[in-house]
Amino acid sequence: MLPLPLVPSPADVEVTGDASFPLADAGVTGDPDAAAALRAMLAARTGLDLPDGDGIVLASAEGGPAESYRLEVSATGIRITGADAAGLFYGVQTVGQLVRRDGERWVIPAVRIEDSPRFVYRGVMLDVARHFHDVATVRAYIDRAASLKLNVLHLHLSDDQGWRLELRSRPALTEKGSAAAVDGAPGGFYTQDDYRAIVDYAASRHMTVIPEFDMPGHTHAVGLAYPELAEAPVTDVITEGSTPVAGEPYTGIAVGFSSLRVHDEATYDFVRDVFSELAELTPGPWLHLGGDESLGTAPEDFAYFVARASAVIADLGKTPMAWHEAGAVASLAPGTVGQYWGFVTPTDAAPQHARAFAERGGRVVLSPADAIYLDMKPTADSALGLTWANGVTSLERAYAWEPSTVVEDLAEDAILGVEAPLWTETVATLADIDALAFPRIAAAAEIAWSPGLGPERTWESFRSRVGGLGPLWTTLGIHFPALEEVPWTT
């Protein structure tokens, strides 16, 4: 018998041997938000529109770990009990994965599941700067991520190619800095109402939005709007992609060439304006200042800038977040969260920089580029994606790593969680997102939620369980590639 198609793998599962529960005559009672999510999931999967009534009970019970749930399925009914609203929602997602055909009936097998997450932070990142993605696309990605019990959406809102969020204190950022994208694709930006709609929609799926304005590097678009704040491009650091020209939109994929003017006080007026307005728009606790690939900025200038920018965010009552390079800054604001994007087997000083965040009272999010950068090619013949992070990155490689062993001497309680970034140099549509994110996003979700690698969590089990999700993903409209690594259920 194939394992149940559950991803991420629950903490504890028992198949009871009782008869399956038939959905055709079932009703739903209990928490209205969870009931709406369950009805939508089952309607998409089966076409059934379940009424109010007996059969499926959705309840809350205090006392369990945050985001945990208990699922009990017998021949006579289903009961999902959540420790909180998020736990109930995740129990609903598990029910959606269990639905199967039995002849002409839709049924759910009899199981008992006790489940809770390993890490509190389970994220995905979507780069909307290299290619802009509209609100509908972001909402669709939220749905996809939340269905796998991911709970953070990190939005990369600015880069050399464009600035993507309207700020009333600095209107020129979108008036002059939002029109470009990679390879001349259309640019764009979110109005403040658009951004609020994304934040609210994410919250309805129990996801927290983390906005990122990347600086002091990756700021060529800032220079289009406010040239007095930007240094001239440093072109001798470019190893691939076209050469930027000061004052002209950039549509290439080179990195590291841009910088803000670190010793000009007007720059810090800008930083305060930007993050003050962003803090007002963002209910979540984190604001991301970027801080990666500042190759055109001298190390001492980088340190001066990051110290001041992180202090601005902290003074706003938010927790600063930065890529791991910022860990080299001795005067980084205490409590700043670091995001590690080095390799699973590190090749440079990235682990040392990551540990520095914990030493200063912060924690670390793990995003090893050669494992869960979703923009890496999944196969050599993939039309989308890049290969710089030891690519090609297969599904097996995306799965076969353990967070506690990546950064040596980093305690487990110093790991805030796991995030799978999707940079969009080659990604212009929702179909492109699906083609690169799936099924590897499922590996990231399992690593973030489930207990560590061991007898109950193996590659062979995972590939079989992912294969069993093919019918569900198809009915949800996800355009996933049928990788040969996976024995797909048809």
Q: Residue 285 is inside which H or E element, if any?
A: none
CA distance linking residue 268 with residue 305, whole number of Å: 9
What's CA 364's distance to the chain center, in Å? 15
What three-state secondary structure class fits 371?
helix
Active site residue 265: no
Q: Which three-class secondary structure state does DSSP give residue 382?
A: coil
Instruction: Say how far residue 85 (Cα) sits from the centre of its chain.
Output: 20
Helix (H, G, I), strand (E, B) or coil at 170: coil
Residue of 166, 212, 231, 293 marked active site: 293
**What is the phi-psi region of residue 325: left when phi exceeds 0, alpha when psi lies from -120 to 50, beta otherwise?**
alpha
Question: Rounded to an integer, what distance in angstroms lies between the CA atom of residue 36 and that of residue 56?
Answer: 12
Structure tokens at 439: 């099924």
How many other C-beta atoms are found inside a 10 Å radius of the C-beta of residue 273? 16
Contact 289, 321 (CB under 8 A): yes
Q: How far apart are CA 441 and CA 254, in angstroms?
A: 26
Cβ within 8 Å of residue 360, ≥6 positions away: 332, 334, 335, 336
Q: How far is it, in rounded angstroms, from Cα 318 to Cα 283?
A: 10
Q: Are 312 and 271 in contact (CB under 8 A)?
A: yes
Describe the strand order of the beta sheet including 111-115 as a list of residue ranges. Answer: 12-15, 111-115, 69-74, 77-82, 55-60, 27-30
Instruction: Answer yes or no: are the C-beta atoms of 440 and 425 closer than 8 Å.
Output: no
Enzyme catalytic residues: 293
